[in-house]
Chain A
Amino acid sequence: MSDTIADIRGFARGTARRPLLALGVLLVLAVPFLFPSQSDLATEALIFGLFAISVDIALGYAGLLTLAPAAFFGLGSYTVAKIVVDYDMSFWLGFPVAIVLALLLAFAVGYIPIKRRIGHVYFVLFTLAFGAIVYDFTFVTTSLTGGSDGLGFFSPPDLFGIDLGAQTPYYYFTLLLVAVVGFGTYVLIKSDYGDVLHATRQNELRMRYLGYDTNRELMIAWLISAGISAFAGAMYVGSVGIASPSDVSFALTGDVIIWIIVGGTGTLLGPFAAAIGLVFTQEILQSVWLEGYRMLLGILFVVFVFVLPDGLMGLIRGDE
């Protein structure tokens, strides 16, 4: 058994690494041709993959377990929907506005908790309350958010004469943006800043003695996480055409936490792959056993927490 795992591990890390990566890229590029009817689903999977990456920056690299990622995701989708549906302005304006709003909100919410160093447990409860407020707020401010009806419907505009409202163009559009932002995140984490974050998690006191303002480092990670979450939300609303309360729901927060743990915290690629894999698994399982899907997902999650807390990437990398 362990031999097999070691074999797979060696295979995935060694000779097969580049071919596997190339195969993955080809597969992602070919989705609209191989599975034309599944383009929408693939778009959704990519967006959720990016969302998982954004939350992994906060949880896996800065050690901030947040129960409010859906608040920022929803802020992104509602901002774009609001600008297009109610203000009748450009879809493209929605993206920068969504990101700026998310950064402002994240700064306002995160400043005091990070500065005061409330413990993990308190941070979890603090963000739980914040997420609950945002969710309730979405329901009651009917004039602003449309209440339980949400804000819809619209489709993205043309870009260079290509209709982004169609499935396949929007898939490639999403793929391009997810690739750029995802790669940017990877570069950032591999940079000196990533090392500083890593070292801060290992021994914060020492980093402070070395002259690093660790509060600032954590705050930057928290802001980047919120900004990318909102960006993912903005892309999501372009795909589904409506911003609804499910975008800010606790269920979505639960999903993203599951993707991260199953994929492996602090690995970026793991949560990304797990999100995509589980979105497709969900689609397949839903056709087989609609009611039970989330229960099976929960069982999978519990197994990972208790048996493989390092996730799939931890399994592949082994104990390094």
Chain B
Amino acid sequence: MYEIPLITADNFITYALNGLSRGMIIFLVASGLSLIFGLIGLINFAHGSMLALGGYGTYIVIQATGNFWLGLIVSVVLVTLLGFALERKLLYWIYDEPLLGFLGTFGIGLVIEEAIAVYFGSRSYTVSSPLPESVQVLGVSYPSYRLFVILVGALVALGIGALLTKTRLGLEIHATANRQSTAEILGVDTARIYTITFVLGTGLAALAGALTAPITSMYPTIGLDYITMAFLVIIVGGMGSFKGSLVVSLIVGQIIAFGWLVLAPTYVRILIFAAAMVFILYKPRGFFGKPEVHE
């Protein structure tokens, strides 16, 4: 029914790189969600609004100073602080109740999204790319900003992977996720571990929001679209599995980048969601999931 259009080798490389940069943004969102879910068991529905805040924060700073990099840093730092305050002051109280946790973060996300809509209106905003020039990659000319996004994603993946596997903190996170009470007895300050994980996850969402601003336009509910996708990524990858969210994010990025050649983009989304539903039913721990935070 559909004919697969012929694509040249150049197009192929461009699509693959597009998919890679897209996948890296999804990965930043999904890995934060996955950390928070894997450790705390919280369905953090406010995660998407943190991404939106990261993007809009960057926009505000750019309007004021004209500097994207400053905007990126300032918005990530501020949103991370907000995540810290939220965790300490509110969410901390409802960790034992998964349903209340979902409802509470859903409400917080709604308030933040609507606050953005009040301030900016519902129209979408774009940010011009801070690295407008293109470079030659594998024989094709490709925007250097997207390469920068791929680089940041790779660095974050390496950094967090090392943090989880090579450091004392990573060990304590694993221990807390596995057996919270045992970890506590052995001297791990689990409340602190919860806070650190939540704040780290929130920071990653804000980073994703700031990085995506020059690529896609921003609208108040941008976060909802991203976290719906990210939730399904972490299900397929395995809840709490860092490696799983990386691999599946990159696969999903490629599926989105190439899928529209054969199917309308919305059908591609529907297929991804349907696949995730099958996974929830038959393989709820996904490809890489173990009942613990896993590298």
Do A and B interact with each other, yes or no? yes
CA distance A137 to B232 in the complex (A): 18
- Cβ–Cβ contact A301 & B107, under 8 A: yes
Contact A136-B228, Cβ < 8 Å, known A121-B98, A292-B118, A301-B110:
no
Give the residue of B90, B103, B118, B228 whose beta carbon is less than 8 angstroms from that of A132: B228
- Residue on B with the closest CB to A289? B118
> B281 touching A298 by the CB < 8 A rule?
no
Alpha-carbon distance between A124 and B99 when the two chains are bound, in angstroms: 9
A: number of interface residues (CB 8 Å): 37
Q: A130-B277, A306-B93 are in contact. Are A118 and B284 (CB under 8 A)?
A: yes
The main secondary structure of chain B at its interface with chain A is helix
Establish whether residues B107 and A129, one from each chain, have CB atoms under 8 Å apart when the complex forms: no
B residues less than 8 Å from A228 (CB atoms): none
Tell me whether A122 and B102 are in contact (CB under 8 A). Answer: no
Q: Is A184 an interface residue (CB 8 A)?
A: no
CA distance A306 to B277 in the complex (A): 30
**Interchain CA distance A139-B264 in the complex, whole Å:** 12
A294 within 8 A of B: yes
Contact call A261/B103, Cβ cutoff below 8 A: yes
A159 in contact (CB, < 8 A): no
User: Among B18-26, B132-140, B265-273, which stretch is in contact with chain A?
Assistant: B265-273
Q: How far is the CA of A65 from the CA of B101 in the complex (A)?
A: 12
Decide if A121 touches B43 in the complex (CB within 8 Å): yes
Is B106 interfacial (CB 8 A cutoff)? yes
Q: Is A305 part of the binding interface, using a Cβ–Cβ cutoff of 8 Å?
A: yes
Q: Are B114 and A294 in contact (CB under 8 A)?
A: yes
Q: How many residues of B contact A (CB 8 A)?
A: 38
Are A126 and B114 within 8 A (Cβ)? no
A113 adjacent to chain B (CB < 8 Å) = yes
List chain A residues, Cβ under 8 A from B231: 125, 128-129
A140 contacts B281, C-beta separation under 8 Å = no
Q: Compute how far the CA of A33 lies from the CA of B187 in the bound complex, rounded to whole angstroms.
A: 70
Residue-wise, chain B 265-295 has the 8 Å CB interface mask toward A (1 for contact) of: 0110110011011001100100000000000
Q: Let me know if B121 is at the binding interface, CB within 8 A.
A: yes
Name B residues whose Cβ lies closer than 8 Å to a Cβ of A.
41, 43, 90, 93-94, 98-100, 102-104, 106-108, 110-111, 114-115, 117-118, 121, 224, 228, 231-232, 235, 264, 266-267, 269-270, 273-274, 276-277, 280-281, 284
A-B complex: 4 closest residue pairs judged by Cβ atoms: A295-B114, A298-B111, A298-B110, A302-B107
**Would you list 17 pairs from A and B whose C-beta atoms are within 8 A, ordered by A residue?**
A65-B99, A120-B99, A121-B102, A122-B235, A126-B281, A132-B228, A133-B273, A133-B274, A137-B270, A292-B114, A292-B118, A298-B108, A298-B110, A301-B107, A301-B110, A302-B108, A305-B94
